[in-house]
Amino acid sequence: MSIKPAVDLKIAEQILARYPAEPRHLISVLQDCQLAYRYLPREVLELVARRLAVPIGKVYGVATFYKAFSLTPRGEKVLRVCTGTACHIRGAPLILNELCSRLRIKPGETTGDLKYSIEAVNCVGACALAPVVVVNDVANGQVNVTKARRLIGVSTAAAKDGN
Ligand code: FES
């Protein structure tokens, strides 16, 4: 599911006011906007392009080049399920499946209430802890289905009831 919330451009205006209106501040401005909106809305990219006098194509180029930027809304919690070899062998597909079915979204999607996003990612460099799920910037190791449910606030009792 992909839901785009209404965009409050005042936030971007406040961010832009913190920087001189020069092209060299593009990445810093985009970083602040990403943090504030949790993604880079089209309207914000257009505003930033105008204010910093950067061609819109270049702004999109930067916004799509860096993994830290997203053009679609992300949830408050971004669950990155490692699907690298070590994690795959130790059950990552099961965990990914559990999280997706509980939240009723697919990898790359965000829940309608903008609480969770799920991403299937390559090795996150913590193979000894496999399988790994990174929630925002915190790595959770040796994740099993029960632990995966806890990461999204589903208690084991509720899970048994099918809730
Ligand atoms: S394969 Fe998952 S952390 Fe390396």
Best of 94, 132, 134, 140 to mutate for ligand 1, by most ligand atoms within 8 A of CB? 132
- Residue 163 has a pLDDT of 47
- What residue ranges line ligand 1, CB within 6 angstroms? 82, 84-87, 123-127, 130, 132
Mutate which of 79, 80, 81, 87 for ligand 1 pocket (most atoms within 8 A of beta carbon): 87
Q: Tell me how far the alpha carbon of residue 35 lies from the centroid of ligand 1, in angstroms.
A: 26
Six-digit token string for 137? 């910037």
What domains lie within the chain, and their CATH numbers?
Answer: 9-65 (no CATH), 77-160 (3.40.30.10)
- Beta-carbon-side half-sphere exposure of residue 11 (alpha carbons within 13 Å): 18
Looking at the chain, the number of H-run helices and the number of E-run strands are: 8, 4
Residue nearest to atom 1 of ligand 1 (CA): 84
Question: Which atom in ligand 1 lies closest to the alpha carbon of residue 82?
Answer: 2
Please answer whether residues 48 and 87 qualify as being in contact, where contact means their C-beta atoms are separated by less than 8 angstroms: no
Going from the C-alpha of 101 to that of each of 55, 95, 111, 149, the distances in angstroms are: 41, 10, 12, 11
Phi/psi class of residue 22: alpha, beta or left (left: φ > 0; alpha: ψ in -120 to 50)?
beta
Compute the distance between CA of residue 9 and CA of residue 29 in angstroms, rounded to an integer.
13
Going from the Cα of 130 to the center of ligand 1, the distance in angstroms, rounded, reads 6
Judged by DSSP in three states, 67 sits in: coil
Q: Give the per-residue pLDDT at 6.
A: 79
3-state SS assignment for residue 73: coil
| Ligand 1 midpoint to CA 90 (Å) | 10
Q: Is 157 exposed, middle or buried (0-12, 13-18, 19+ CB in 10 A)?
A: exposed
CA 29 – ligand 1 centroid, Å: 32
pTM (2 decimals)? 0.75
Provide the b/e sequence for 59-85 (b: ≥16 CB within 10 Å).
Answer: bbebbeeeeebbeebbbebbbbbbbbe
Task: Copy the structure tokens of residue 114.
Answer: 């903008």
Per-residue pLDDT tens, the chain, 163 aa: give them: 555 667 899 999 999 999 999 999 999 999 999 999 989 999 999 999 999 999 999 999 999 999 889 998 889 999 999 999 999 999 999 999 999 999 999 999 999 999 999 999 999 999 999 999 999 989 999 999 999 999 998 865 555 554 4
